[in-house]
Amino acid sequence: MTRKLAVVTAGVGTPSSTRLLADRLVAAVQSQVGARGEDVRVDVIEVRELAAALATMTTAAGLPVPEVTRAQDIVRAADGVIAVTPVFAGSYAGMFKMFWDTFSPDDLSGMPVLIGATAGTPRHSLVLDHAMRPLFTYYRTIVVPTGVFAATEEFGGGAGGDQLNRRIVRAAQELAGLMVSTATGVEGFVPAGPRRTNGSSLPDPTSITPFTRLLAGHDGS
Partner 1 sequence: MQFGVFSIGDVTTDPTTGRTPTEGERIRAMMTIAEHAEQLGLDVFATGEHHNPPFVPSSPTTMLGYIAGRTKNIILSTATTLITTNDPVKIAEDYAMLQHLAEGRVDLMMGRGNTGPVYPWFGKDIRKGIELAIENYHLLRKLWREPVVDWKGEFRTPLRGYTSTPAPLDDTPPFVWHGSIRSPEIAEQAAFYGDGFFHNNIFWDAAHVGQMVDFYRQRFEHYGHGSADQAIVGLGGQVFMRKNSQDAVKEFRPYFDNAPVYGHGPSLEEFTSMTPLTVGSPEQVIEKYLTYADVAGDYQRQLFLMDHAGLPLKTVLEQMDLLATEVVPVLRAEFDARRPAHVPSDPPTHASLVAAGPEGKHHLVQSATLPEDRNETETAKESA
Terminal-residue alpha carbon distance, the chain: 50
Nearer to partner 1, 103 or 155 (CB): 103
Rounded distance between C-alpha atoms, residue 173 and residue 36, angstroms = 10
User: Which residues from 180-209 bind partner 1, rule CB under 8 A?
Assistant: 201-203, 205, 208-209
DSSP 22-49: HHHHHHHHHHHHHHTT--EEEEEEEGGG
- Minimum Å distance from CB 58 to partner 1? 8
The reply on whether position 219 binds partner 1 by CB under 8 A is: yes
User: Which residues from 62-91 bind partner 1, rule CB under 8 A?
Assistant: 62-66
User: Which residues from 24-63 bind partner 1, rule CB under 8 A?
Assistant: 55-56, 58-63
- Minimum Å distance from CB 157 to partner 1? 47
Nearer to partner 1, 57 or 81 (CB): 57
Dmax (CA) for the chain in angstroms is 73
Contact 48, 11 (CB under 8 A): yes
User: Rg of the chain over CA atoms, in angstroms?
Assistant: 19
Site residues, partner 1 (CB under 8 A):
55-56, 58-66, 201-203, 205, 208-212, 214-215, 217-221
